[in-house]
Structure 1
Amino acid sequence: MGRLVVVSNRVPVPKRGEAPAAGGLAVALKDAFSGRGGLWFGWSGTASEEPADLVRHARRGGVDYAVIDLSRRAYDGFYAGYANSALWPMFHFRLGLLSYDRDQAECYRIVNRRYADKLMPLLRPDDTIWVHDYQMIPLGAELRARGSKHRIGYFHHIPFPPWAVFSAMPGAEDLIRDLLSYDLVGVQTNRDLTGLIDSMAQGTGMKVRPGGEVRFRDRRTRLRSFPIAIATQEFADLAAESVKTPKVQRFQESLAGRSLVIGAERLDYTKGLPERLRAFGALLEGFPEHRNRVTYLQIAARSREDVESYKDLKREIETLAGRINGDYSEADWTPVRYVGRAQPRDLLAGYYRMAQVGLVTPLRDGMNLVAKEYVAAQDPEDPGVLVLSRFAGAAESMPEALLVNPLDAVGTAEAMNTALVMPLQERRERHAAMFRRLGENSVQDWAKDFLNVLEGKDPAEAPPARAAALSVFQPRVIERSASTSSESSSEEREVSQVAGLSTA
């Protein structure tokens, strides 16, 4: 078995003597790296005026890390520009916020070419390559163009829209064709898989076969959903310990016996934070019995502060929180507590366990692991209730949550009221069902299942619970009409050039 080579936009290189990051991709890949060795390649996180054109190496815990810097100009065009001002809003169905600049789009491809140039000399013939997320879509095609014959998989962590949305992006066809260079393209949910299949069929004009396969010349690209998970029991144990710590105890005392509603995420317009605040205001207006009896803690860690839409969002949230507090506060009670910076993972776990309501209402999300962490953190004897947006990927596997449309402030307020007054037995039953399902598909299983499919192992070999969690979708077969056969042949030739495949 060859090495696993992981490519992601940011590489979390642990400092010497420190354990790898707890949470996120690092946890998922820890087991995947063990026993086979591995390389993690990507951006260092440093943007400077004149970056060294060198790959920096480190070895930690049996894993090799290789990182490169970006110039400030490349960062502005590739990351802050095209990736986060064009791709991010498009993938999240927010076309009104899409800002396209042709120079930034070219910079995106230039950076991916540079990544390919720097990665190729580090590869061994039997490596398996796993590329992560929307910043790296063209990387597979760039590696193929440089002669790579490796197994290469791509996992898309955010939503994948249908062609009707995707096609609004200039150059959309090129992005979809780039995906044909991968042996496996994974997404979070069946809904995202439907969008991927629709975009693949209409964006390339090629047939998507039953089982989610696209065949072109000598390559087969498989399209599958792999819902990402968390380390459920580990997070449950962390929450049970954290709730006993002085910081969490002090916070609990400050509530003075009031119920707690909690939301925690990055400051991002996809998370529905203004809508959530309006819903909490609607709860206090429509259900006055909760006034002075419930506190809403919203943690929104600032991010991408160099993108103008995020600055606008921050101002809107601060204004809404101030308005609610101005309308409803009393001398001994502030209804909204807003924290605009990241909190340690263990502290969050303790806050989740304390909260009677977990409010997770994104306008669109690939998965949303906060929803899963909230459920994992609960005391099974006296659990809180999850109020969850139906537009979060997690909703597909968490039907026992109270599912809401975050654009309906009154409907979300009604769900919060239902959660706050829900009888104990119903809370226990809902929580037990979700917790059991979380335990059936760990974050380690997610990585293992993806790599098994990428490396040619039948997912049916997995235990029944995990096989179900793979959610392998059987799409309809999409054919092109006879009248477009000549166009199809022309498109296939173009795809072959982009994918670096032989046309012989």
Structure 2
Amino acid sequence: MSRLVVISNRVADPRKPAAGGLAVALGESLQQSGGLWFGWSGTVVEGGPSGEGELHRQQAGKVTLATIDLSREDHDSYYLGYSNDVLWPVFHNRLDLAHFDAGFIGGYRRVNQLFARKLLPLLKPDDVIWVHDYHLIPLAAELRAMGCRQRIGFFLHIPLPPQIIMAAIPQHEWLVRSLFAYDLIGLQSHQDREHFDRYVVDEAHGTAQAGDMYQAYGQSVRCSAFPIGIDVDEFMELTHAKEAQEMCQTMRREYSQRRLMIGIDRLDYSKGIPHRVRAFRELLAHYPENRRSATLIQIASPTRETVDAYGDIRRELESLCGAINGDYGELDWMPVRYIHRMVARKRVPGLCRAAAVGLVTPLRDGMNLVAKEYVAAQDPADPGVLVLSRFAGAAEQLKEALLVNPYDTHGTAEVMQQALQMPLEERRHRHQKLLQRIREHDVHWWRSAFLAALAETVQVTD
């Protein structure tokens, strides 16, 4: 059996419960092959460019965890700069928030070269390499330039934008050309693959061939959709565990006279949280029977708080929630409960189970696993209703959810009302179908399908 080598920006110990379903799923294959997981240590050291960053190794069962430190300069240009101030906003269709600083790309290239240089001596001839996400798009090209001939796959966890949006990146051709150094590119949705198709054909003047193969820049690559899932059984076990049950009982006791609607997100401009809160205000304004009845609990965990755009959205959200509570609240009823902090993973299933409506309404998202977690947490005898943005990758699979356009405030409010009024029989039917879908394409299917496709893909280096 070939050894699996996983490369990602951050590394997780797959044995720890806090690692989450993705780390556990990858950990299964890593443990089978005695694999290697390589990435940034999370440590930033003061000084100039990393050059030869220090390599750290530790064992996690049969898995070797190998990490390197980054200098302040590299971290700021590679991670904060190019990855999160260029690629993140552009790939989420927010050109207005992108900062095309000419200095960022130098750090991005430098760190990918550093990763390649430190990883190469650790590789074995028959390793299978799996690179993850937008931080490391050019890694395969750097490895190939250093003589690496192993099979290399890449999975993009965030959405791939349309051709015209992608072309706004000053170095977009170099970025897409770098992808052709991989043997297999995995994307979250068929729409993402269509965006790749259009770029290759119309922008790179390449060709789409049989078997999801594409040719451009004198190279070939296979590109397919592999929608990521969750570990359904693991999340259901969490739902029935003590912490989740206590959370569910507490919420139902404290809100015994209310219908709970819940949103669980990182405080990110891609999640559409202010749009969701405005739609809830519209619900209260146009369907007054929900006053003193419906309560929105919005959890927005902190993220990248040093970036101006995140401070702006936090202030906007706090103002919106305060205005709604001021306009509609009563002494014994607060319409919106806004929580700006992390909620322990063990409690999340309890929150989901207690909510009559789950609101997952991003403006753009690669997949959004909260939607699938909400479905898995429900009581099949009396399930809640999932309201899902059509712009989340999950919408391609979860067709029995109530799909909304989060930019349409009034339309989203109407769908919220439909969810609150949905008869039990219809709720059960929709939930049964949704549960079937997330079971068919869970995180284990995703891992196996990608690795099987990588194994059968003709290598670009052959």
Range 364-373 or range 210-219, more displaced: 210-219
Q: CA deviation at 1:219?
A: 5.4
CA distance in 2, matches of 1:46, 1:384: 42
CA distance in 1, matches of 2:293, 2:327: 15
Q: CA deviation at 1:216?
A: 6.1
1:295 paired residue number: 295
CA distance in 1, matches of 2:270, 2:433: 28
1:41 aligns with 2:38: yes
2:27 paired residue number: 30
5+ residue gaps, structure 2, are: none
Contact 1:161–1:195 (8 Å) recurs in 2 = yes
Contact 1:12–1:21 (8 Å) recurs in 2 = no
Q: CA deviation at 1:25?
A: 2.4
Amino acid in structure 2 at the alignment position of 1:283 = L
Contact 1:357–1:384 (8 Å) recurs in 2 = yes
1:158 paired residue number: 158
Q: CA deviation at 1:22?
A: 4.0
Contact 2:221–2:460 (8 Å) recurs in 1 = no
CA RMSD of aligned residues (A): 2.0
Q: Deviations over 1:109-129 (max 9, x none)?
A: 111111111111111111010
Number of equivalences: 459
Contact 1:243–1:354 (8 Å) recurs in 2 = no
2:374 paired residue number: 374
Contact 1:242–1:350 (8 Å) recurs in 2 = no
Q: Deviations over 1:392-414 (max 9, x none)?
A: 01010111111000001111111
Q: Which has the higher contact order (CA 8 A, sep 6+)?
A: 1
Q: CA deviation at 1:77?
A: 0.8
Contact 1:292–1:335 (8 Å) recurs in 2 = yes
Q: CA deviation at 1:47?
A: 1.2
Q: CA deviation at 1:353?
A: 0.5
Does the C-alpha gap of structure 1 residues 374 and 314 become closer, same or farther in structure 2, counting only changes over 3 Å?
same
- 1:52-451 correspondence runs (5 A): 53-215=53-215, 220-242=220-242, 245-451=245-451
Range 357-366 or range 27-36, more displaced: 27-36
Contact 2:295–2:336 (8 Å) recurs in 1 = yes
Once the two structures are aligned, what percentage of the paired residues are identical? 51
Does the C-alpha gap of structure 1 residues 243 and 117 become closer, same or farther in structure 2, counting only changes over 3 Å?
closer
Does the C-alpha gap of structure 1 residues 303 and 227 become closer, same or farther in structure 2, counting only changes over 3 Å?
same
Q: CA deviation at 1:242?
A: 4.8
- Secondary structure, aligned partner of 2:263: strand
Contact 2:260–2:297 (8 Å) recurs in 1 = yes
- Secondary structure, aligned partner of 2:241: helix
CA distance in 2, matches of 1:107, 1:234: 39
Contact 1:295–1:336 (8 Å) recurs in 2 = yes
- Secondary structure, aligned partner of 1:28: helix
Q: CA deviation at 1:84?
A: 0.6
Give the TM-score of the pair, scaled to structure 2.
Answer: 0.95
Does the C-alpha gap of structure 1 residues 455 and 394 become closer, same or farther in structure 2, counting only changes over 3 Å?
same
CA distance in 2, matches of 1:229, 1:167: 30
Q: CA deviation at 1:20?
A: 5.3
Contact 2:13–2:23 (8 Å) recurs in 1 = no
Amino acid in structure 1 at the alignment position of 2:240 = A
Q: CA deviation at 1:36?
A: 1.2
Q: CA deviation at 1:218?
A: 8.7
5+ residue gaps, structure 1, are: 459-498
CA distance in 2, matches of 1:205, 1:218: 11
Q: CA deviation at 1:215?
A: 3.8
Q: Deviations over 1:57-99 (max 9, x none)?
A: 0001210000011111111111111111111111011111111
CA distance in 2, matches of 1:297, 1:204: 46
Q: Deviations over 1:190-221 (max 9, x none)?
A: 00110111122234222121332124699531
Q: CA deviation at 1:232?
A: 1.2
Does the C-alpha gap of structure 1 residues 178 and 217 become closer, same or farther in structure 2, counting only changes over 3 Å?
closer
CA distance in 2, matches of 1:280, 1:243: 29
Does the C-alpha gap of structure 1 residues 500 and 398 become closer, same or farther in structure 2, counting only changes over 3 Å?
closer
- Secondary structure, aligned partner of 1:186: strand
Contact 1:197–1:212 (8 Å) recurs in 2 = no
- Secondary structure, aligned partner of 1:27: helix
Contact 1:141–1:500 (8 Å) recurs in 2 = no
CA distance in 2, matches of 1:215, 1:270: 32
Give the TM-score of the pair, scaled to structure 1.
Answer: 0.88
Q: CA deviation at 1:34?
A: 2.9
Amino acid in structure 2 at the alignment position of 1:122 = L
Range 449-458 or range 314-323, more displaced: 449-458
1:474 paired residue number: none
CA distance in 1, matches of 2:24, 2:286: 43
- Secondary structure, aligned partner of 1:159: coil
CA distance in 2, matches of 1:38, 1:408: 47
